[in-house]
Amino acid sequence: MTSHVVKTRLERSNTSGLRNEAGRPTAAVNQLSRAKKLAKSLLSERGEASGAIVARELHEVLRILVAEDRSNFQRFLATDFAPDATIVCAAAETYLSDPSAEAAALLAQATDPPRQELLRRMNMAPGGTSALVAMRKEIAGRLRDAPTLRLLDSDLKHLFASWFNRGFLQLRRIDWQSPAAILEKLIAYEAVHEIHGWDDLRRRLAPDRRCFAFFHPALPDDPLIFVEVALVEGLAGAVQPLLVQDSDDDAARNRAARADTAIFYSISNCQVGLRGISFGNFLIKQVVEELKNELQHLTRFSTLSPVPGFRRWLTKRLASTSDPAAALLARIETGAGRLDTPKIDDSETSNGPYLMRLACGCRNPSSLPRRTSLAALRDQTRKRIALVHPLAAPSWTAPANHHLNPTESRFALGLNESFATHYLLSRHGRHSCGEEFSWP
């Protein structure tokens, strides 16, 4: 502990005092400039000797900044910790004159922004990871207006991709034995089929349901992503029956005992601040393994995933063609928005696969996979329960012992992944669009 730290400790009582007068311009300015000083000090601290203490100090100050000052501080981070131009220039010239591996390494070192090291040191404080994830979430809303923040955003994403590496994630089953502090986050974060309070949640965690989430050790109470699974007999044709409340635990246990199919009916990313870091892929694969181990009579693993952007695409396509599915679409539309959409009769069901092909086609018409199965025609963007077509076969179906070929695999996974990352934002009021979805 240096004398500097001792001093800032004394100031801490002032900090608490200022909490109540945060509106006063002078105090606020002082706090902002103090945050900047602490950031510089954190980076300069020799030997990282007191990094954790300075970092804690810095987070405490940041917490009491008003929104504008916080934004100011973020721009300060984005602009004031660039690599030293002289050094980079020298290293670049060296490399150009002799592009050896060593020269590349030196150049990489020279261009490594001090900003990243500063962020790493901010992570040393208790709660540091959580604060940085929250910072990136805040930045996300300002990127359009403050493009200068993009470098900061990019550095945070780079660090998070490293810190939230699959090797560090912990899979946990979530059930009615889980802490309420975690369960209430499921209610808050569920992005596909809204959870209507605690009774509804209890149904999602009944004995014929499974819920798994990834956690990171530094965010022990905060799931990163979670998936909800229904254990059923035969393929589920629609999501509604899976969401019906049923308080009979014994009956649910019996259903689970007879189940041969696991339907992954909802998956939600939880952290806007971790946007762009991919978890869904790993989660689904590991949950399939877990379920296989627990319930050895399961033979099918399916999803009921909606295809982002499908509806818009379909509407556009059908409007401009004399597609034989046009009539079907009309019928579908009729039932839209209602829970009691009449089941389309058998003769029409034969159009199902075609619809599915359409669904795939909407992504890349020219590369329609030969063997696909997918669907889901819910108007996700408006969060209505409006499954237009209770498809006979769900979106992705594969027997447990059948290994998907690469195309299938990428398709199915891309699908799941996409709508998870996709709808997070739509839930939080921002526009949901299919464009940002990229096929693997």
Of 202-231, binders to its own copies (CB under 8 A) are: 202, 217-218, 221
Q: CB-based burial of residue 303 (10 Å sphere; 0-12 exposed, 13-18 middle, 19+ buried)?
A: buried
Site string for its own copies, 168-207 (x = CB under 8 A): x-x-----xxxxxx-x-------------xx---x-----
Of 344-373, binders to its own copies (CB under 8 A) are: none
Of positions 166, 253, 384, 428, contacts its own copies by CB under 8 A: 166
Residue closer to its own copies, measured from CB, 164 or 377? 164
Only one of the segments 27-35, 80-88, 308-316, 429-437 lies at the binding site for its own copies (rule: CB under 8 A); that segment is 80-88
Amino acid present at 430: R
Shortest Cβ 319–its own copies spacing (Å): 31
Give the three-state DSSP class for 231: strand
Would you count residue 76 as binding its own copies (CB under 8 A)? no
Of 412-431, binders to its own copies (CB under 8 A) are: 413-414
Site string for its own copies, 284-323 (x = CB under 8 A): -x--------------------------------------
Of positions 30, 36, 40, 52, contacts its own copies by CB under 8 A: 52
Q: Which residues contact 53 (CB under 8 A, 6 or more apart)?
A: 1, 5
Q: Are 353 and 370 in contact (CB under 8 A)?
A: no
Only one of the segments 88-96, 318-326, 337-345, 358-366 lies at the binding site for its own copies (rule: CB under 8 A); that segment is 88-96
Q: Are 392 and 345 in contact (CB under 8 A)?
A: no
Residues that contact its own copies, how many (by CB under 8 A): 79
Following DSSP, what letter does each residue of 384-427 receive, concatenated? ----S---SS-SEEEETTPPPPHHHHHHHHHHHHHHHHHHHHHH
Would you count residue 44 as binding its own copies (CB under 8 A)? no
Q: Is the dihedral of CA 23, 26, 32, 35 positive or negative?
A: negative
Q: CB-based burial of residue 420 (10 Å sphere; 0-12 exposed, 13-18 middle, 19+ buried)?
A: buried
Alpha-carbon span 22 to 25, nearest angstrom: 8
Would you count residue 282 as binding its own copies (CB under 8 A)? yes
Of positions 25, 47, 324, 429, contacts its own copies by CB under 8 A: 47
Of 22-41, binders to its own copies (CB under 8 A) are: none
Q: Are 307 and 415 in contact (CB under 8 A)?
A: yes
Residue closer to its own copies, measured from CB, 132 or 239? 132
Length of the chain: 440
